[in-house]
Structure 1
Amino acid sequence: MSNDFTDYREIFLNDRPLMDVRAPVEFFKGSFPGVVNLPLMNDNERQRVGTCYKQHGQQAAITLGHQLVSGQIKAERIEAWADFARAHPEGYLYCFRGGLRSQIAQQWLKDEAGIDYPRVGGGYKAMRTFLLDTVEQAVAQCDFVLLGGMTGTGKTEVLWQLSNALDLEGHANHRGSSFGKRATGQPSNIDFENRLAVDVLKKRTHGIEQFVLEDESRAIGSCALPLPLYQSMQQYPMVWLEDSLEGRVERILRDYVVDLCAEFVAVHGEEGFALFSERLLESLNNVQKRLGGERHRRMLILMEDALAEQANSGAVDLHRGWIEGLLREYYDPMYAFQREKKGARIEFAGERGAVLEYLRARLINRK
């Protein structure tokens, strides 16, 4: 059709409003930032039509679809689409492959609401392929440097101050460690990959061809880095961020205790503190095997005492005990080993100010 749109780059660069008419089950597996799901068929209707298609062919499936989505149900769905189209005249609608469902939605909008609304040619699949290609092209064509450092050195805070940083943990909504879960859930893996790709696309459009990203394992919580990027990260040069033990303890206290507790309370209200405590204890239990029984018991007592004191008076001072213990006895030896292993790739090491200065100069020198 004449009003099919296939400039996917333009869609993502300009955050065009998108209406996804796929079923909710498809939408929740993965979509794009800011998209609204207004399905042609709900999950049950889609399943029935799919079964009919397998058993009796396309025409029987179309007939059943029209029977299931008719009358008041049809009117309500068209009204929802029309509301979206009126609110977002610069937007588009799409289905999985830019096929029958988006054609039907487009036709009904025109016939019943008098709105000629464009759809995305190729649908979700074509846009998803475009974003996957965007990351692969960046890996092949751009210059990357990793930011490493001991736990608690504030690597994310450094990234936030750089125009050419990719905040992988931000896109994954997770802090990347065993204690990294936030009060709000993580995106689906597809959503994570799509967010990252849109970020890369926008930065490259602004002339950025060198990226700084944190040295991560493949998994950030339940999200996994795109394989081409992760594989290439094993060879990228590194910059190592340093800070004192005291500074790191204070930063972890702020991020993983004070701020995380406030986040849980903001999201869950009265239950927030109990859920925060549960999360902290669960995180410690997750590393029990690697800590060993004796160390785990010792840290657990310190953490339970700290949580009791926090619940009682709001004071967080006792948390420093288990934080420092974990750093000294668990995280630091592990990171020291990592640093030694990756030593040949480290081109600069220093504290925050020096690292920022080096990375900014590196960007200018490579342009």
Structure 2
Amino acid sequence: MLRDCTDYRDIFLNDRPLMDARAPVEFAHGAFPGVVNLPLMNDIERQKVGTCYKQHGQQAAIALGERLVSDEIREQRIRGWVEFARAHPDGYLYCFRGGLRSQIVQQWIKEEGGIDYPRVGGGYKAMRTFLLETIDQAVAQCDFIVLGGMTGTGKTEVLAQLRNGLDLEGHANHRGSSFGKRATGQPGNIDFENRLAVDVLKKRAAGIAQFVLEDESRMVGSCALPLPLYKSMQGFPMVWLEDSIADRVERILQDYVIDLHAEFVATYGEDGFALYAERLISSLNNIQRRLGGERHQRMFLQMEDALAEQARSGAVEQFRGWIEVLLREYYDPMYVYQREKKSARIEFSGESGAVIEYLRERVSQKDS
């Protein structure tokens, strides 16, 4: 007998292999980490069948689908499904609601490959609902601490050393500032939420009931934080991370220049440097209005000279000039204002080692 699974917790906790039978356009709109898209119908076929279903009903739509998916195409798709099923015997397949499409795929795998391959009851929609509820439940049931600090103090580095850290910027593939775009693009918002929810689920399953996350605006690049989480963040207690201006300049130099350049070269090869330079200049131009014309022009010329020297010799020392201006004259005044507004919520401040020790002790006291 063909089987269904509705244990969504087990699926995500154990990274069960998943075959997504939805059309590519649906998959691109939102998917789960590590999932493989092996659709029953492509986008055009899906559109035609959907129109037929609305106009003539289910049986007519099924008949049309069978005509559209010719024997050769059908055999090719079944071959892909069977190969996936054999390679991942502990996996599952699904469509949008766990309905007709996944039933057909399941049936054809059984008929042609002799494999009784389970599908996810409720499909993508049920799993997506489960993950959204996972975030909502964590906000309602767990303790959270927000990690704040000036730009370049190393908040992401601190989170990486905490077993209860939630790296929002990591899940969004963005560093969270005007210069935060990576060489590779960001996930869609649904994918971002799904990644965050799976992280929360796994940490809670490991016994974590208190989370530390970085102080963020609603948007991390193009990814929006789940609204219940973002609203609650405005009242969570805070810890403030401090560091010297010299260390912060070095950290920004590493992140925004050295590492970003390496990312672009690794991603785009020979075109990497030109695209990296274009990204830096674009990021500066995006804040031109807030910098003011004179300051923007001064920083722009410093950046151009630094990029020219880097292209010529590989040296990056000249970047320190505009980075220090960026921190002292642009970011720091905004953060000073934000810290004053949030001062009543700040329960501890210090440099990296002290902050990590404090946050670890706080968790221990909570667990004891």
Q: What range describes the TM-score normalised by the shorter chain of this pair?
A: over 0.9
Q: Look up the SS of the partner of 2:47 in the other structure.
A: helix
The residue that corresponds to 2:109 in the other structure is: 109
The 2-side partners of 1:39 and 1:173 are apart by 27
User: Could you say which residue in structure 2 is the equivalent of 1:43?
Assistant: 43
Q: State the alpha-carbon separation in 2 of the partners of residues 55 and 320 from structure 1.
A: 65
* Structure 2 equivalent of residue 86 of structure 1: 86
Residue aligning to 1:324: 324
Aligned partner letter, 2:131: L
Distance apart, 1:70 and its partner CA: 2.4
Name structure 1 gaps, 5 residues minimum. none
Q: Secondary structure at the match of 1:240?
A: strand
1:19-65, CA deviations, whole angstroms, 9 ceiling, x for partnerless residues?
Answer: 00000000011110000000000011101111111222211111100
Q: 1:128-167, aligned counterparts within 5 Å?
A: 128-167=128-167
Please tell me the residue identity of whatever aligns with 1:25: V
Distance 2:127 2:70 in 1: 30
Residue of structure 1 in register with 2:203 after alignment:
203
Counterpart of 2:137, as a letter, is Q
Does structure 1 conserve the Cα–Cα contact (< 8 Å) formed by 2:16 and 2:90?
Answer: yes
Give the deviation of 1:266 after TM superposition.
0.3
Matched with 2:75 is 75
Q: Secondary structure at the match of 1:46?
A: helix
Cross-structure match for 2:27:
27
For residues 87 and 14 of structure 2, the distance between their equivalents in structure 1, rounded to whole angstroms, comes to 16
Q: C-alpha distance in 2, partners of 1:230/1:322?
A: 32
**Partner residue, 1:212:** 212
Task: Give unmatched runs, 5+ long, in structure 2.
Answer: none
Encode CA deviations 1:188-216: one digit per residue, 9 max, x unaligned: 10000000000000000010000000000
**Mapped partners of 2:231, 2:280: distance in 1:** 32
Secondary structure, counterpart of 1:115 in structure 2? coil
SS at match of 1:156: helix
| Distance (Å, rounded) in 1 between the aligned partners of 2:2 and 2:306 | 65
Query: Secondary structure of the residue that 1:133 maps to in structure 2?
Result: helix
Q: What is the CA distance between 1:110 and its match in structure 2?
A: 0.6
| Deviation string, structure 1 residues 48-105 (Cα, Å, up to 9, x no partner) | 1111112222111111001111200000000000000000000000000000000000
Residue in 2 that maps onto 1:96: 96
Q: Percent identity?
A: 78
TM-score, with structure 2 as normaliser: 0.99
Task: Please state whether the residue corresponding to 2:273 is helix, strand or coil.
Answer: helix
Letter in 2 for 1:237: P
1:336 aligns with 2:339: no
Pairing 1:176–2:159 present? no
What residue in structure 2 maps to residue 15 of structure 1? 15
For residue 249 of structure 2, what is the aligned residue in structure 1? Answer: 249
Structure 2 residue 349 is matched with structure 1 residue 349: yes
Q: Distance in 1 between matches of 2:331 and 2:3?
A: 56
Confirm whether residue 284 of structure 1 aligns to residue 288 of structure 2. no
The CA RMSD measured in Å over matched residues stands at 0.7
Contact 2:265 2:272 survives alignment (8 Å): yes
Q: Is the 8 A contact 2:147 2:214 kept in 1?
A: yes
Equivalents in 2 of 1:115, 1:95: separation in Å? Answer: 18
In structure 2, the partner of 1:362 is: 362
- What's 1:238 paired with? 238
Per-residue deviation, 1:2: 5.2
- Name the SS of the counterpart of 2:347 in structure 1: strand
Q: Aligned AA for 2:136?
A: E
What is the CA–CA distance in structure 1 between the aligned matches of 2:258 and 2:22, rounded to whole Å? 41
* Cα distance between partner residues in 2 of 1:128 and 1:355: 35
Across the two proteins, how many residue pairs are aligned to each other? 367
- Describe the superposition over 1:137-173 as per-residue Cα deviations: whole angstroms up to 9, x where unpaired: 0000000000000000000000000000000000000
Take 1:337 and 1:353, find their aligned partners in 2: how far apart are those partners?
A: 25
Q: Which residue of 1 aligns with 2:310?
A: 310
Aligned residue identity for 2:222: S
CA-CA distance at 1:312 after TM superposition: 0.7
Deviations 1:103-147 (A, max 9, x none): 000001111111110000000000000000000000000000000
Q: Secondary structure of 1:235's match?
A: coil
Using structure 1 for the length normalisation, give the TM-score.
Answer: 0.99
Amino acid at match of 1:252: I
How far 1:292 moved relative to its partner?
1.0
The equivalent of 2:187 in structure 1 is 187
Distance in 2 between residues matched to 1:154 and 1:9, nearest whole Å: 33
